[in-house]
Amino acid sequence: MKAGASPPPGIEEFRLPDQMHAAIVDHAMRDAPRECCGIIAGRDGMPMQLYETRNVATGNRFYEIDPAQLIDLEFRELPAQEFEIVAIYHSHPESPAYPSATDVELAFWPDAVFLICSLADRDRPVVRGFRIRDGAIDEVSLSE
Amino acid sequence: MQNDARITVLIPTPLRRFTGGEAKVAVAGSNVAEVLDALDDAHPGIGERLRDDSGQLRRFVNVFVNGHNIRDGQGVETPLSTGDEVGIIPAMAGGEGT
């Protein structure tokens, strides 16, 4: 969706600046065939800083943000800047940019937008955003 | 008494609805299990998010004591003394695999 365009009624909008979109795709490409992961911090739902994080999951088809890195972000780095976590991103190297059953089962952060970058078509990476709450998936409209 | 130890517990954003929005809670306990019991007594409902029916930490919840993951040590039996800081952090995890 182009900047300035309005999402359809009832659809939540999340602003994802071009440079963060590009950073997520770049991270996904660098870490493939493993999944990449990271967070976007900001204020009042507005993204301000992207943090690449370590994926400590086993295998290529899962991610788990290093809990030691996450606890430092959540309780020290971000509060010091009056930031909060506004989005969590990860890649799907081989499948569409849509939450998997695993993504839904392990969605423990209802206040964050989940961004998924698909590399299923390496020439055309796709980033989409979702809310995942109580097992329900709602797509979020991404604007620049 | 040992279990008079006053422990600061850091509450992550997704669990602050149990603590009235508070990011830090002070409770008493001589080890992590006692602290989590005291936390659930003070803020009912938070405990089941952290431990299973057998009292073990859930797979996708991590607890750190003064910056050290208790899974790498004595788990919920990790001893505590006044001034220790217990941080709770739910996993950020998932992926295309099933």
Q: What is the CATH number of the domain that holds B6?
A: 3.10.20.30
Global pTM reads 0.93
Does residue A4 lie in a domain region? no
Summarised one tens digit per residue, pLDDT across range B34-83 is 999 999 999 999 999 999 999 899 999 999 999 999 999 999 999 999 99
Q: Tell whether ipTM is more than 0.90.
A: yes
Among A106, A113, A137, the strongest candidate for a mutation testing the B interface, having the largest count of B CBs within 10 A, is A106
- CA B75, CA B86: separation in Å to the nearest integer? 12
Q: Is a pLDDT exceeding 50 seen at residue A1?
A: no
Does residue A119 lie in a domain region? yes
Does residue A9 lie in a domain region? no
**Which of B40-73 are b and which e, b meaning 16 or more Cβ less than 10 Å from the residue's Cβ?**
beebeebbeebbeeeeebeeebbbbbeeebbeee
Q: Decide if A134 contacts A140 (C-beta within 8 A).
A: no
Nearest CA distance, B39 vs chain A (angstrom): 18
Domain coverage including residue B26: 2-90
Q: Is a pLDDT exceeding 50 seen at residue A114?
A: yes
What's the total number of domains in chain B? 1
**In this complex, do B94 and A74 lie within 8 Å of one another by their Cβ atoms?**
no
- CA B15, CA B58: separation in Å to the nearest integer? 14
Mean pLDDT over the full length of chain A: 94
Question: What are B26's strand-pairing partners?
Answer: B8
Nearest CA distance, B22 vs chain A (angstrom): 12
Does residue A6 lie in a domain region? no
Does residue A10 lie in a domain region? no
Summarised one tens digit per residue, pLDDT across range A65-94 is 999 999 999 999 999 999 999 999 999 999
Does residue B97 lie in a domain region? no
Q: Is a pLDDT exceeding 70 seen at residue B2?
A: no
Among A34, A71, A94, the strongest candidate for a mutation testing the B interface, having the largest count of B CBs within 10 A, is A71
User: Looking at residue A75, what is its pLDDT?
Assistant: 97
pLDDT tier for residue A4 given thresholds of 50, 70 and 90: low
Which residues lie below 8 Å from residue A4, measured CB to CB, with a gap of 6+? Answer: none
Summarised one tens digit per residue, pLDDT across range A43-55 is 998 999 999 999 9
- Dihedral sign for Cα atoms in the order B6, B92, A83, A28: positive
**In this complex, do A111 and B14 lie within 8 Å of one another by their Cβ atoms?**
yes
Domain coverage including residue A116: 15-143
Helix/strand/coil for A113: strand
